[in-house]
Amino acid sequence: MKKRLFNISVYVVLFFGLSLSANSLKDLQKVYERDGLYYKVFSNKLYNGKGFQENILFLIISNYKNGKKEGLSEVYTKNGELASTQMFKNNKKISQKDYFKIPTDSIIEENTDEKKVDTNSNVFYTATVKDLILNITNSKGREKLMKLSFSLRSTEPTISELIAQNKVKVVETVIQQVNARVSEELLTVGGEELLKEDLIKEINIVIDDLIATNKKIKRDSIKKLHFTTFKIR
């Protein structure tokens, strides 16, 4: 029998961002990776303790010391089944045991190369959005200017053309996401990472809606987003 992380109802609560019960996973803190180190959400301090990362398919529970993975790391599916265990020392993976085959690009990986090819031979293709000038307010309602550029990594070969052809809708999505935040939030590591996560989700929705009748183009193809310019003045 496969090991269960916790019951399905609690797991669904976690994955859809609702509050956890007091007795379930109370020691877990959501963390974000930046430049190979891990931080608590909405904090610029390196994280110490037990925490988790998540994407649309998996949840990864790890132990952290001075912002680095140390010791046991466990990968769970959306059904709460243990998919893999990994051991880390000073942020380097020294062993791994898989309980069933899972796509490598679905797990949160550290220090990935722009030209990396996953084990399923899917090359990541890049599209860029450059030099957006956006208005954003701070917590006191004062307006600031934000300059934003980013690149997208996708498993869809035509992603660059799709983004170029639908740039207006993509930019509208970026504006909506930025306007939903204040500048102080975006200036934290966690705030920047949350924006990145939400942009991946929302831009995928935009592209998927536009290609709904084309069965040849992959859905949810955008896997990663990297900010090349992120300035607030």
Structure tokens at 151: 């690149």
Q: Are residues 208 and 136 in the same domain?
A: yes
Q: Are residues 167 and 211 in the same domain?
A: yes
Q: Are residues 97 and 133 in the same domain?
A: no
| pTM reported for the whole predicted model | 0.51
73-109 pLDDT, tens digit per residue, is: 988 876 777 888 889 999 998 988 877 655 444 444 4
Element (H, E) at 191: helix 189-210
Q: What single DSSP character describes residue 131? A: E
Q: Are residues 71 and 156 in the same domain?
A: no
24-38 pLDDT, tens digit per residue, is: 456 788 887 777 888
Q: Are residues 100 and 198 in the same domain?
A: no
* C-alpha–C-alpha distance, residues 55 and 36, integer Å: 17
Q: Are residues 168 and 227 in the same domain?
A: yes
Its domain, for residue 174, covers 125-232
| Model confidence band, residue 205 (pLDDT cutoffs 50, 70, 90) | very high
Q: What single DSSP character describes residue 213? A: T
Q: Which residues contact 51 (CB under 8 A, 6 or more apart)?
A: 28, 29, 30, 31, 38, 40, 61, 62, 64
- Of 56, 71, 106, the position where a domain reaches its end is 106
In a domain, 115, yes or no: no
In a domain, 69, yes or no: yes
Q: Give the pLDDT confidence score for residue 84 in this predicted structure.
A: 83
